Structures are given as C-alpha cells and as structure tokens.
Amino acid sequence: MNSTIEKSQIQKLISMALSEDIGDGDITSQAIFKKSDISEGKITVKEEGIFCGGNVFKFVYEEINKNINVTPLVMDGDRIGKGSEVIYLQGPTQDLLAGERTALNFIQRMSGIATKTRQLVDLLAGSGITLLDTRKTVPAFRILDKYAVKIGGGTNHRFGLFDMVMIKDNHIHAAGSITNAVKLVREKYSARYQIEVETSTLDEVREALDAGVNIIMLDNMPPDITEKSIKLVNRQAKIEVSGNIDEKKIREIKHLAIDYISIGGLTHSVKAFDLSMKFY
C-alpha cells in the first residue's frame, strides 16, 4: 500500500467516529465556553516510541472546523521521547474539545502499532528476514493499521482476499488436498498470482513443494518440524513462519533460513501509545 493516506480514503471512518463520540453535541463544553472562545494547545507524549498518524489527526479536525490550525511538529516514523510535543493546535475551544478524544484515539493506536513494529524490525536487523503484518485488524481500520505497520518499518502482507492467493487449512480441507487446491487456482488464474500455502506438518510441506507453490507458510510448527521443513524446502520456495510469534520466538528462529515472519499481534493486540492534549 502507499506510504501516505488521503483523506478521501478514510472520510467515512472519521465521520462515523466523530458521530459516535459527539452525537448531538459536546454538552459539557457547550455549557462552559462560548463559540467565540479560542484556545491553543499541544499533543504531548508520555513514553518513548514511534509517532504515526499526524495527517489523520489533522483530518479529524478538518471535519469539525476547517479553520482550526493543526500543525504536526514531527513526521510519521520519527522516534519520539517522553515529554515530546508532537502536534500544535489552535482554534475554537468547543471544537478543539469536541475532536480531542477521537483524534487521540486514532494516533494512539497508530503510534502503538508503529512502535511495536519498529521494536520487532530492530530485533530482526541483520537477519535478512522480512516482518509481515496480517489481516487481523479492526474492521474498517485496515488501511490505518497497515499504514502504521509500514511506518514502523514492517511490510504489508496481502491487504484483503482480492490481491493475493493464500490457500489455508479450510481451503485444503474443502478441496480435498493441497494438490487439488493449487490445481484449481492455476486453472482459474494461470500465472496471474503467486500462490502461498499454509502448512502445519512435514507431509503438507512436501506436498506444497511438489505442487510448485511460491511461498510455504509454516504455521504453528514445533521447532524441530520447522527446521526439518526448512531443510526440505532448501530455498525451492520462499518460507513464511507464523503462529504466536513473540520476541522470544523471534530470537530463537531469526538465524534460520526463512524469508518472512508474520505476526497478527502487530495489529490485533495493540498497546495504545500514551498521548494527551494540554491547553496553555
């Protein structure tokens, strides 16, 4: 996917998020402040990590009031320290407060994903292994989740079911075998798509290899079977390792002759990055 996000790509998502939070209006702020009241403030961070989502933050406020001044002070992908100021805001007080939670919700998730991704990319440095994300994203947030992975230094796997062939366990079960599933895909698409097959046993790896697939996923395999599978493949196909991968497991396998590690936890188990808005 692209390394930037256009407002048009997430317009509906922003509108839904604001409607969910604001509803008929911010009754607290409307009681305390006049429409003419103006405030300014900054978004500050409370931990070290990778910033992500500056433009998305700005898009939220553009939806509320185009005259609000939102100025990112850092770039997406920048490493930020505790206490850093990352965004400046100035505009009607009611509007700044109305958009605060929604805008922060976007960037706390995106920065959390980018930060975790960078930690794991750094852990893989020098190994030659590419870190991939998955489709285990919040529904309708995929473009943001995968953008954040990319900002963190990871690589996007397929975006959806439409841009890559991946034959998984249920496909294999329903088709009768890996061999038959691959045959049917090739009959339908010829060489239009590369084919990846999910495997969990040495026999399945052998069958996928015999079928001439491009990528073999070793899914939730014990260490000894993983190593036997890598030896069997012997660089005749690319290898992706997946299944409950964490930092400990990365350290254990990063010396192996594999091409990819995919981690659903980059996006399905996000630790929100700690940011807040402060007026001054």
At residue 4, the pLDDT reads: 82
CATH number belonging to domain 123-268: 3.20.20.70
Ranges of each domain in the chain: 7-121+271-279, 123-268
Mean pLDDT by 10 residues, the chain (280 residues): 82 97 97 98 98 98 97 97 97 98 98 98 98 97 98 97 97 98 98 96 98 98 96 98 95 97 96 97
Instruction: State residue 1's pLDDT score.
Output: 53
> Residue 8: what pLDDT?
94
| Fold match between domain 7-121+271-279 and domain 123-268 | no
Please tell me the predicted confidence (pLDDT) of residue 2: 55
Active-site residue, selected from the candidate residues 34, 66, 116, 136: 136
- 136 assigned to active site: yes
pTM of the predicted model as reported, rounded to 2 decimal places: 0.96
Q: Which CATH architecture has domain 7-121+271-279?
A: Alpha-Beta Complex (3.90)
Q: What is the 3-state secondary structure (H, E, C) of the chain?
A: CCCCCCHHHHHHHHHHHHHHHHCCCCHHHHHHCCCCCEEEEEEEECCCEECCCHHHHHHHHHHHCCCCEEEECCCCCCEECCCCEEEEEEEEHHHHHHHHHHHHHHHHHHHHHHHHHHHHHHHCCCCCCEEECCCCCCCCCHHHHHHHHHHCCCECCCCCCCCCEEECHHHHHHHCCHHHHHHHHHHHHCCCCCEEEEECCHHHHHHHHHCCCCEEEEECCCHHHHHHHHHHHCCCCEEEEECCCCHHHHHHHCCCCCCEEECCHHHHCCCCCCEEEEEC
